[in-house]
Amino acid sequence: MSEIVRHEPQQLSIADQMQFSEIVTQGDMVPKAYAGKPANALIAIGLGQAMGLSPAESLYRIDVIQGKPTASAELIASNIRKAGHILRVEVDEQNTSVRATVYRADDPEFPHTVTRDMKWAQQMGLANKDNYKKQPLTMLQWRAISGVGRLACPEALYGVQYIPEELGDMPAASRPSRVAQPVEQVAEEPQFEPITADQWQQLLSAGQAAGLDPAQVGALAADVLQHDLRGPQDIPANQYDNILANIQQPQGEQA
C-alpha cells in the first residue's frame, strides 16, 4: 500500500500573517466573511496554520457564522484522519440515513458512532428546510461527520467544531460561545485611545504563557469587547487590563 504524502505549508510569522490579512481582505475574491475584515482573516489564518492549511486555503475552508469560526465537513473529516483516527461514513440511500463512526488511534477497538436520518432532522425542525428537501443525504452526511468528530475526538478539531449550517440553524441563545468576564460597556465615540504596540505584545506574551496563539488572543479580545476587530488598533486602552485578566484566568474558568 502506498504511503500518503502530506504537504505542510510554510509557517508564517504573526507579522507576515497580519500583512497578508491586510492585503487579501481588500480583494474581490476573498469570501464575504473576510471582506474588509483583516482581524477575522488573521484569526482564520492562525487557526488554519495550526491545522496545516495555507493562508489562502484557511480563508476558504474556515467560515465565520455569527462571529464564530466554523469548518467545512471536509475539513473536519480531514482533521480527524490527520490526527490518526479512523473515520468511516456509511450512507443508506433507501432509508435516507447516514452513520459516521470514529475509531480512535488510542482506543481502536471502541467505535464512536453518530447516526443522522430524516427522523432526526424532523425532530430538530430541519426537515422542511430547502437543503434537506433537495439534498438530504449530503446534509445528513455533513451533520454526522461533525457530530462524531465532537463526540470522539474534539481535540483534533482545534476548537472549530461546527459546520456553518449547524450554527446557522441554531437559535441564537443555544449557540456555543466562550464565557468572558463581564465587561463594562464602552460608550461608542468617534475616537478612542487604542492600546500601544507594547501592550499588544504584552497580551501576546500572556497568551503564549497561557497556551494561546496570537489568533486565539485576538479571538478572546473580540469576545470580551463583543465586536469584531480589524486589529490591535480596535482595542481601547481602557480595556487592556480586562482583556489581560481574561487571558490569565485558568482555562477551566474561561469555558
E strand or H helix at 34:
none
24 pLDDT more than 80? yes
Q: Is the pLDDT of residue 231 over 80?
A: no
pLDDT at 116: 96
Global pTM value: 0.61
How far is Cα 66 from Cα 30, in angstroms, rounded to an integer? 18
Query: Do residue 101 and residue 148 come from a single domain?
Result: yes
Residue 176: pLDDT band by 50, 70, 90 thresholds?
Answer: low
Shared-domain flag, residues 34 and 81: no
The number of distinct structural domains making up the chain is 3
Among 30, 46, 65, residue at a domain's last position: 65
Query: Are residue 61 and residue 85 in the same domain, yes or no?
Result: no
pLDDT of residue 228: 76
How confident is residue 214, by pLDDT bands cut at 50, 70 and 90? confident
Residues 162 and 186 in one domain: no
Q: Which domain does 188 fall in, by range?
A: 181-245
Residues 159 and 134 in one domain: yes
In a shared domain, residues 87 and 159: yes
Question: In the structure, what pLDDT confidence band is assigned to residue 189 with cuts at 50, 70 and 90?
Answer: very low
Query: Rounded CA gap, 202 and 10, in Å?
Result: 26
Based on the fold, state whether residues 196 and 164 are members of the same structural domain. Answer: no
Clarify whether residues 160 and 201 are in a common domain: no
Provide the 10 A C-beta neighbour count for residue 35: 15
* pLDDT tens readout for residues 58-98: 998 898 887 788 999 999 999 999 999 999 999 999 999 99
Residues 221 and 159 in one domain: no
- Give domain status of residue 175, yes or no: no
For the chain, the average pLDDT equals 83
